[in-house]
Amino acid sequence: MKQTRRPRAVNTSRHKAGIIALALLTLATVPGCSFLVQAHPTPQPTLTPIVIVVTPTPLPPGVLEAADVEEQLVINVYARVSPAVVHITSRVIVRDFFWGAVPQEGTGSGFAIDKEGHIITNNHVVEGAERIVITLPDETSVEAQVVGTDPASDLAVLKIDVPPQKLYPIEWGSLANLRVGQRAIAIGNPFGLDRTLTTGVISSLGRPLKVQGQRKIYDVIQTDAAINPGNSGGPLLDSNGRVIGVNTAIYSPSGGSVGLGFAIPVDTARRVVASIIEKGYYPHPWLGISGLSITPELADRLELPVERGILVTEASPGQPAARAGVRGANREVQLGRYVIPVGGDILIAIDENRIREIEDLTKYLETKTAVGRLVDLTIVRDGKEQTIEVELGEQP
């Protein structure tokens, strides 16, 4: 008789534990599962931390001392010169849409040059103003009178009546000693922020700057010291705190400083200001001629004896050049669509300084001469050079 085997009893507790462990391990492989369970995790080695110690290298004492000297230099300049810088408020009358009179105020900068109360600024700061008020560093406000202006050089001289002890004149510098790369310090009132200091360097020298009409200011100083609206008329200084220019313009598509500021050179400012204080205006030297700049192409077309110079088209009667014997054109020739006056003298030099174009002559007259001075003009007439002495007159 076949024996029937009895089924073995199952240890249900062990069986359930195995099922649970299997289920947990399976869940751990499901993408997106947020946990992982391992029955026997593999031991991991303990990482040894890497500690990096940075020890700053001390600067040599000489470097720190030099940096401190630089700072002290600028601090000293500001302490000495900023009391000379004044805030200028000008009121002008403008017309609204209905042609009604509307007062409008503008602000700018200026600086004292003596104890008599003379203040220098830009002409465009006070041009057309019916009332000008100057505020001194001690908050004293006083009305100013216009001594005189020179729109051609964008300079103006004002005068205030205050006790001498309230004025701190600035010392003049010189254009001859300036070099590109040297320090430039500007002090002024940009956006009405009184006596703000900015620093930079002289970026370029000898720039021409066009002002009213076609007139130019020559030998203008270019600087990257920040100059903004309100700086106009303030001083540009060297490292000794001497005036080397009068801040007058910026190049800025945005209206703010982009590092291209321009200052009227100190030599021009001194010359113009001295004349304004003495005479109330500045007389510009004048020859009284009109002409064309000669180019090699024009010289070839007109069969002229020189390739560069000025072809005198007119010597105004009664004016200095005409009185000295300079001759203008006596006939005309047709060149394409243009009628050219010819037959006049050809100006090639002034005081032995070669002239290539009209701007060379204009610059020399403005920067190197004065009304009443004698100059030697070298001309070519009928193919021969000769020299004519001319006493400069005053530009009408």
Note whether 385 and 309 are same-domain residues. yes
The DSSP secondary-structure symbol of 191 reads: G
Note whether 294 and 274 are same-domain residues. no
285-286 vs 243-250, strand pairing mode: unpaired
Q: Assess if residue 210 is contained within a domain.
A: yes
Choose the final residue of a domain: 137, 166, 195: 166
112: domain CATH number is 2.40.10.10
Geometric angle at alpha carbon 95, from 91 and 100, rounded to 5°: 110
Note whether 289 and 324 are same-domain residues. yes
Q: Assess if residue 36 is contained within a domain.
A: no
pLDDT at residue 38, as a whole number: 44
Note whether 153 and 197 are same-domain residues. no
pLDDT at residue 97, as a whole number: 58
Give the residue among 244, 263, 248, 250 at the shortest CA–CA distance from 77.
Answer: 244
Give the residue among 201, 257, 193 at the shortest CA–CA distance from 228.
Answer: 257
Note whether 200 and 296 are same-domain residues. no
What is the domain extent for residue 251?
183-279
Q: Assess if residue 137 is contained within a domain.
A: yes
Note whether 134 and 232 are same-domain residues. no
Measured from the Cβ of residue 26, the count of other Cβ atoms closer than 10 Å reads: 11
For residues 187 and 81, what is the distance between their CA atoms, to the nearest angstrom? Answer: 9
Any bridge partners for residue 385, and if so which?
380
Over the chain (396 residues), what is each successive 10-residue block's mean pLDDT? 43 42 36 40 60 63 70 94 96 65 79 98 94 94 97 96 96 95 96 94 94 84 95 96 96 80 96 97 97 95 95 96 96 91 96 96 96 98 96 95
Residue numbers annotated as active site: 124, 154, 232
Q: Assess if residue 206 is contained within a domain.
A: yes
**pTM score of the predicted model:** 0.78
